[in-house]
Amino acid sequence: MFAVLLLLLVVGPFVELYVIIQVAQVIGGWQTVLLLLVESVLGAWLMKRQGRGVLRRLDARLRASELPTKELVDGLLILLAGALMLTPGFLTDVVGFALLAPPTRAPIRAALMRRFRARLGHGFSWVRLGGLGGAGGPGGPARAGGLGGPGGPATAGGPNGPGGRRGGAGWSAARPGPVVDTTGHEGGRSERP
């Protein structure tokens, strides 16, 4: 893997330069520069559009208490596409556009997810979204050491209520938030992707 990366970083710029020179000989130097600029602007616009779509889907999955694995991999691929689009050259732009287009990104995402699963295995206990899970257990009120402070949950008149550190009368320690249950016990779900 390191040899392939090194080869891309050393040989890639020379190949890009060769392609740019060949295109410049065919259509002219200024036209080549203009074409590279137009590709970069178009790539930035597509990256912004695709990135916002991924963020919306990621937010929807999190709100539904689901793990957003596809969305995270899509975000990684869009970030990689953006880096490739910033690099001047036609070949990197072609790869960047391929990563930005959902139909061509889907098989790449599937291959990456298969590779991640093969390397990480299936022995995860996933995150359960629910209560804060302080000393009261998952979904219970926060006790000593929890967000509610020593002895109990924060209430409107407690240390985190009006005038307290958190401010805002609507804040409560029993408000839903992520709980990591790595043991698979006490009501946590152990799912295998």
> pLDDT > 90: what percent of the chain?
42
pLDDT bucket at 31, cuts 50 / 70 / 90: very high
String of b and e for 149-174 (b: at least 16 CB within 10 Å)? beebbbeeebebbeebebeeeebbbb
Residue range 36-60: average pLDDT? 92
Tokens representing 28 are 């002219």
Which of the pair, 130 or 73, is modelled with greater confidence? Answer: 73
Q: Cα 65 to the chain's mean position, in Å? A: 16
pLDDT in tens, 63-77: 999 988 899 999 999
Would you say residue 60 has pLDDT above 90?
A: yes
- Is residue 185's pLDDT more than 70? no
Phi, psi of 54 (to 5 degrees): -65, -40
Q: What is the pTM of this model?
A: 0.59
pLDDT at res. 51: 92
pLDDT at residue 144, as a whole number: 42
Bridge partner residues of 179 (DSSP)? 128
Asked whether residue 163 carries a pLDDT value surpassing 60, the answer given is no
The answer, yes or no, to whether residue 96 has pLDDT greater than 70, is yes
**pLDDT score of 120:** 76
Q: Is the pLDDT of residue 113 over 70?
A: yes
First to last CA, the chain: 26
CA dist., res. 189 & res. 169, Å (int): 33
Tell me the Cα Rg of the chain: 25
Averaged pLDDT score across all residues of the chain? 74
Mean local confidence (pLDDT), 175-192: 52
Name the pLDDT band for 86 (thresholds 50, 70, 90): confident
Tokens of 32: 């080549």
Q: Tokens representing 77?
A: 């691929």
Q: What is the pLDDT of residue 6?
A: 84
Per-residue model confidence (pLDDT) at position 182: 57
DSSP string for residues in 64-116: TT---HHHHHHHHHHHHHHHHHHS-SHHHHHHHHHHHSHHHHHHHHHHHHHHH
Residue 32 is predicted with a pLDDT of 94
Closest to 127 in 3D by CA, of 80, 175, 75, 184: 184
Q: Residue 8: its pLDDT value, please?
A: 81
Mean pLDDT of 119-141: 53
